[in-house]
Amino acid sequence: MQCHVCRSDSVKAELDAGSHPVSTFFAPSKDTTEANYPLVMAQCTNCGVIQLTKPVPHTALVPPYDWLFAREPEEHLDMVVDQLMALPGISKDSVIVGLTSKDDTTLDRFRTHGFSSVWRVDVQNDLGVANPCANIETVQRMTEPARMTKIADKRGAADILIVRHIIEHSEDLQAFVQGCAALVKPGGYIMVELPDCTTSLEKNDYAMIWEEHSLYFVPETFDGVTAYGGFEKLRTDVYPLPFENCIVEIAQKTGEPSIPRPNAAGKATVGQLSTYAAAFPKITGGLKVGLTKWRDEKGPIALFGAGHLACAFVNFHDCGDLIDFVADDTPQKQGLFLPGAKLPIVPSSELVDRGVTLALLALSIQNEDNVIARNTAFTDAGGQFASVFAASSRSVRDLFDLQS
């Protein structure tokens, strides 16, 4: 296969995580037939970028529900907006543009600072997509030069374009970055934010793998990618977070588009995926042994949080038959089943009612303390919380004495 980034043919498949349904397709019943998509991870030996061998097509990813939302980290945004406002040529008259709904909170910060020419690409009006469930998966595919040039002509090209947590979803990276470039004035800027896969790769955490992400960058392999749009990097910062750090690049549109050139640091990451892949059977086996033993000796086990991270844990490690249900208080999820494992989704009060002894947290690590504080009835009854994440201080891997 060809590398989705540097176009070389030297991409090596290393990890087959199996075929799984899309995590947003909560099943109405245990008997619901699901469409499965193979998740095979590969690394390019030329540029080092880790990628799915076959990105799941965006048409398969449009969720069947309109009540889903994604929350991205925000703590660093004030600082980033300060950096953007201080760029040469930027004033309160500058045009600030966002690509998706994930950019709204950044755009709001510019408005608060007195910027008045602020707009965002609208899925319905600009892209002509009528389906109210369409989101990131659709915008990434529709971001290409011809369409974005028309939108920029109509609404005003950007002095600064904000592009948060979508580039890693690109099915066609070149078209995507060039589409972004078409929204930006010559000499204008782009702010691109994406997850940094370093921690997951180092800790052998497989929750990183997600059918919505076609690309898995680390700072070394992301360096130079925006050259596809004629951008020249001004700065890259990595903002630390417990599960996945955020990479933020600020770049200026100074030249003509070119194919990103592999760099030495990116090439030096080659081998990262094979190490990660080699640990997969050991982690899966250890988790199954630990869960089986716990269940036999102590009692029922539940997952806490019905999202794609719970799907990744239970489906990739094939441990659905060792878990009784998923606790999640989202009203719309009640009575539905977790994709793949088909575990019933029930309110968190069931943890006590059904005598659960171990609840595996599968929400973001930053939320773990809050969830535990809200569920004292469970811990008072003798229940224990652990986290599915290797990077959590309460990781289930420590509970089972599993080395990462």
Closest contact distance (angstroms) between CB of 170 and Zn ion is: 14
Closest contact distance (angstroms) between CB of 40 and Zn ion is: 16
Please say which residue, 1 or 129, places its beta carbon nearer to Zn ion: 1
- Answer yes or no whether residue 358 interacts with Zn ion by CB under 5 A: no
Residues 6+ positions from 399 with CB-CB distance below 8 Å: 290, 386
Closest contact distance (angstroms) between CB of 9 and Zn ion is: 9
In angstroms, the first-to-last Cα distance of the chain is 30
Residue 159, phi then psi, degrees to nearest 5? -80, -35
Please say which residue, 5 or 360, places its beta carbon nearer to Zn ion: 5
- Answer yes or no whether residue 170 interacts with Zn ion by CB under 5 A: no
> Which residue's structure tokens are 């939108």?
151
Closest contact distance (angstroms) between CB of 119 and Zn ion is: 34
Closest contact distance (angstroms) between CB of 222 and Zn ion is: 12
Instruction: Using alpha carbons, select from 96, 120, 88, 4 the residue that is nearest to residue 52.
Output: 4
Q: What is the DSSP string of 196-265?
A: E-HHHHHTT-GGG--TT-SEE--HHHHTTGGGGGTEEEEEEEEE--SSSEEEEEEEEE-S---PPPP-HH
178: enclosing H helix or E strand: helix 173-182
- Answer yes or no whether residue 225 interacts with Zn ion by CB under 5 A: no
**What are the contacts of 124-133 at 24+ separation with CB within 8 A?**
126/151, 126/154, 126/155, 131/62, 132/66, 133/62, 133/63, 133/64, 133/65, 133/66, 133/68
- Answer yes or no whether residue 139 interacts with Zn ion by CB under 5 A: no
Residues in 12-51 that interact with Zn ion by CB under 5 A: 44, 46-47
Closest contact distance (angstroms) between CB of 235 and Zn ion is: 24
Closest contact distance (angstroms) between CB of 182 and Zn ion is: 24
CA distances 385 to 336, 368, 370, Å, are: 23, 9, 12
Size of the chain, expressed as the number of residues it contains: 404
The CA distance from 279 to 154, in Å, is: 51
Closest contact distance (angstroms) between CB of 216 and Zn ion is: 12
Please say which residue, 5 or 139, places its beta carbon nearer to Zn ion: 5
Q: Which two tokens stand for residue 311?
A: 């799907």
Q: Which two tokens stand for residue 97?
A: 């543009």
Residues in 288-347 that interact with Zn ion by CB under 5 A: none
Closest contact distance (angstroms) between CB of 267 and Zn ion is: 9
Q: Which stretch binds Zn ion (CB under 5 A): 1-9, 114-122, 327-335, 384-392?
A: 1-9
162: enclosing H helix or E strand: strand 158-164
- Answer yes or no whether residue 52 interacts with Zn ion by CB under 5 A: no
Please say which residue, 267 or 394, places its beta carbon nearer to Zn ion: 267
Name the percent of the chain in helix, strand, coil, to the closest 5.
Answer: 35, 20, 45
Please say which residue, 43 or 200, places its beta carbon nearer to Zn ion: 43
Q: How many residues form the binding site for Zn ion (CB under 5 A)?
A: 6
The CA distance from 172 to 170, in Å, is: 5
The CA distance from 25 to 36, in Å, is: 11
| 265 burial level (CB within 10 Å; 0-12, 13-18, 19+) | middle
CB count within 10 Å of CB 338 equals: 27
Please say which residue, 173 or 183, places its beta carbon nearer to Zn ion: 173
Closest contact distance (angstroms) between CB of 8 and Zn ion is: 5
- Answer yes or no whether residue 3 interacts with Zn ion by CB under 5 A: yes
- Answer yes or no whether residue 158 interacts with Zn ion by CB under 5 A: no
Instruction: Using alpha carbons, select from 55, 66, 54 the residue that is nearest to residue 26.
Output: 66
Please say which residue, 45 or 384, places its beta carbon nearer to Zn ion: 45
- Answer yes or no whether residue 6 interacts with Zn ion by CB under 5 A: yes
- Answer yes or no whether residue 5 interacts with Zn ion by CB under 5 A: yes
Site of interaction with Zn ion (CB under 5 A):
3, 5-6, 44, 46-47
